[in-house]
Amino acid sequence: MGMVILGVLLVLLKLADLGPFGEWSWWLVLMPFVAAVAWWAWADGSGWTQRRQMDRMEERKAQRRKRNLDNLGLDERGRQSRKK
């Protein structure tokens, strides 16, 4: 996401012809978009994105289980906790 934001800023600076950015080549200005596409291709191709999503889902499941057990008055193993 950071590369896309950088790319948009560079394009805006190039179009507004501000500072040295107006003199830069369009290839140089568009490079952050190329880097973002390469990153997304690698992340999807390697399974990194899917693993992160699965980890988040497992964390939510664990939090939901703990919350439900606490509401039922049970410990982590499903045994009744002895609260005094």
The percentage of residues in the chain with a pLDDT greater than 70, rounded to a whole number, is 94
CB 39 within 8 A of CB 2: no
pLDDT digits (tens, 9 = 90+) for 62-80: 999 989 888 888 877 767 7
Q: What is the pLDDT of residue 19?
A: 87
Instruction: Give the pLDDT band (50/70/90) at residue 33.
Output: very high
CB 41 within 8 A of CB 48: no
Q: What is the pLDDT of residue 27?
A: 95
CA atoms within 13 A on the CB side of 16: 8
> Cα–Cα distance between 15 and 76 in angstroms, integer?
59
pLDDT digits (tens, 9 = 90+) for 39-55: 999 998 998 888 899 99
Whether the predicted model's global pTM rises above the 0.85 cut: no
Q: Over the chain, what is the mean pLDDT?
A: 89
